């Protein structure tokens, strides 16, 4: 990775993204309001808006009568500029969502496969069919699509040690691009969730945000000083594979003691098994259904289920305190199973106490928690939109070239 240098071109690019996000946040705005909102000069905002108008990214909405002085021209992100499609793909599950160019959701389709979809050709077929089905539901055509974002769990740069099977399509990205004849960008859910927070969530109000994702896998998307942290090879945020316990439980990644081995769905089940080896819920698939059943059992007074939920909250609080220690964020946005209201109610008091107690000094004293319903899908759409702006020459964001 090259040394970060702040070129004039990068500065223009960053300013364009700042204006774009401010306009998305405002819905309707004016050049003057955007200058106020961003702190950029009116002259800079006007130049940027001119560039965005030129490419149809932004549209004028007519003259607005102001309370003082001349009427000003209304501005809005041009939703009709085109469509952006996000596709989330695991080996048995696929979801595709069509967004307008202002990142408004238009239509979603889901697909489930009884058999794992593993061969690259089959995965590509599945993505193409899912994308077309979503476009049909959104009454859109492929010609309308400005960009496609593919969300793949797991490390995306090169084949990794404990690689989720679907990630193999990373190696066949060119074939996917050829099949679709559309610009395609691939990223992992951590970066997408962080990008969603930056474009549409807490990252618009705070400079330092960590979004944690708790599911079968566990990870974090990091926003520092208003930018998504990617690291040297786009693999920053793998909090799920940092240590909870040296030489602790074996993780599916091969390491021992990872956060994910305690806080992924399978890890929660293992905590139950350690609490009560004969408990009926220790058997069955490692799905969110297990977690629902666990909470139901806890609500019904099942002692082992209660102990497991509480122990899991202690693990989560301790693991979040590690993120506070290293990154000292203003907000932690919790997504995934722990954000479900039923977990939230039972676990959050324990989690808050533990984070406060375990964080260095008073680093967590003013820490806020949020429970956004957004997932990585709108984030990958934002990344695809950013990529489109890059193709137009409007943005020079440094991303790993291979993506």
Give the strands of the sheet with 105-112, arranged side by side.
105-112, 93-100, 83-89, 145-151, 184-187
Rounded to whole angstroms, what are the CA distances from 128 to 134, 181, 255, 261? Answer: 10, 11, 35, 34
329 binds a copy of itself (CB under 8 A): yes
Q: Which is nearer to a copy of itself, 277 or 361 (CB)?
A: 361
Q: According to CB under 8 A, which residues from 234 to 263 bind a copy of itself?
A: 234-239, 241-248, 253, 255, 257
Q: Which stretches of 7-137 are assigned E, i.e. beta strand? A: 28-29, 58-64, 72-77, 83-89, 93-100, 105-112
The residue within the footprint of a copy of itself, chosen from 62, 341, 361, 401 (CB under 8 A), is 361
327 binds a copy of itself (CB under 8 A): yes
- Min dist CB 371 to a copy of itself, Å, is 19
204 binds a copy of itself (CB under 8 A): yes
- Min dist CB 206 to a copy of itself, Å, is 6
- Min dist CB 301 to a copy of itself, Å, is 27
How many angstroms separate the CA atoms of 249 and 246, rounded? 9
Give the dihedral sign, CA 279/284/287/289.
negative
Number of residues near a copy of itself (by CB under 8 A): 79
The residue within the footprint of a copy of itself, chosen from 222, 272, 333, 381 (CB under 8 A), is 222
400 binds a copy of itself (CB under 8 A): no
Q: According to CB under 8 A, which residues from 298 to 317 bind a copy of itself?
A: 315
Q: Which is nearer to a copy of itself, 162 or 303 (CB)?
A: 162
88 binds a copy of itself (CB under 8 A): no
Helices (H), 27-157: 31-38, 42-54, 120-137
Task: Evaluate whether 78 touches 59 at the Cβ level (below 8 Å).
Answer: yes
Q: Which is nearer to a copy of itself, 176 or 236 (CB)?
A: 236
- Min dist CB 6 to a copy of itself, Å, is 5
72 binds a copy of itself (CB under 8 A): no
Rounded to whole angstroms, what are the CA distances from 156 to 23, 172, 194? Answer: 31, 12, 16
Pick the closest to residue 276 from 318, 307, 235, 245 (CA basis): 307
How many angstroms separate the CA atoms of 225 and 130, rounded? 36
Helix 189-200 / helix 8-26 crossing angle, nearest 10 deg: 70
Task: Evaluate whether 58 touches 52 at the Cβ level (below 8 Å).
Answer: yes
How many angstroms separate the CA atoms of 359 and 356, rounded? 6
Q: According to CB under 8 A, which residues from 127 to 166 bind a copy of itself?
A: 154-155, 157-158, 160-161, 163
231 binds a copy of itself (CB under 8 A): yes
Stretch that binds a copy of itself, among 6-14, 52-60, 110-118, 289-297 (CB under 8 A): 6-14
Q: Which is nearer to a copy of itself, 276 or 358 (CB)?
A: 358
């Amino acid at each position: 990775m090259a040394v970060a240098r702040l070129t004039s071109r990068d500065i223009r690019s960053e300013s364009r993204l700042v204006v774009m996000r401010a306009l998305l946040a405002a819905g309707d705005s004016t050049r003057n309001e955007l200058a106020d909102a961003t702190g950029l000069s009116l002259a800079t905002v006007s130049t940027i808006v001119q560039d965005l108008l030129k490419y149809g990214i932004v549209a004028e909405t007519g003259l607005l009568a102001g309370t003082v002085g001349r009427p000003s021209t209304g501005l809005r992100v041009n939703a009709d500029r085109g469509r952006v499609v996000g596709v989330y793909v695991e080996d048995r599950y696929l979801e595709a969502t069509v967004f307008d160019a202002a990142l408004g959701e238009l239509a979603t389709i889901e697909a489930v496969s009884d058999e794992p979809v593993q061969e690259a050709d089959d995965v590509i077929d599945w993505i193409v069919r899912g994308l077309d089905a979503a476009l049909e539901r959104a009454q859109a055509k492929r010609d309308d699509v400005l960009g496609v974002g593919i969300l793949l769990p797991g490390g995306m740069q090169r084949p990794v040690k404990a690689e989720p099977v679907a990630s193999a399509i990373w190696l066949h990205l060119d074939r996917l691009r050829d099949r679709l004849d559309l610009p395609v960008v691939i990223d992992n859910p951590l970066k997408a969730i962080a990008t969603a927070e930056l474009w549409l969530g807490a990252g618009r109000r705070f400079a330092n945000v960590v979004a944690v994702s708790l599911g079968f896998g566990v990870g974090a998307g990091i926003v520092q000083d208003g930018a998504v942290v990617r690291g040297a090879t786009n693999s920053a945020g793998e909090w799920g594979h940092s240590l909870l316990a040296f030489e602790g439980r074996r993780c599916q990644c091969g390491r021992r003691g990872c956060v994910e081995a305690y806080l992924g769905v399978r890890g929660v089940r293992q905590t139950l098994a350690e609490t009560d080896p004969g408990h009926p819920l220790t058997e069955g698939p490692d799905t969110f259904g297990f977690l629902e059943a666990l909470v139901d059992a806890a609500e019904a007074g099942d002692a082992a289920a209660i102990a497991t939920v509480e122990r899991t909250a202690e693990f989560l609080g301790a693991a979040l305190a590690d993120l506070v220690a290293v990154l000292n964020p203003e907000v932690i946005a919790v997504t995934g199973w722990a954000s479900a209201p039923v977990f939230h109610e039972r676990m959050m008091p324990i989690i808050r106490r533990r984070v406060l107690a375990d964080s260095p000094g008073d680093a967590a004293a003013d820490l806020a928690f949020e429970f956004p319903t957004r997932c990585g899908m709108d984030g990958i759409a934002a990344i695809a939109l950013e990529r489109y702006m890059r193709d137009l020459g409007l943005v020079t964001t440094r991303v790993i070239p291979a993506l």
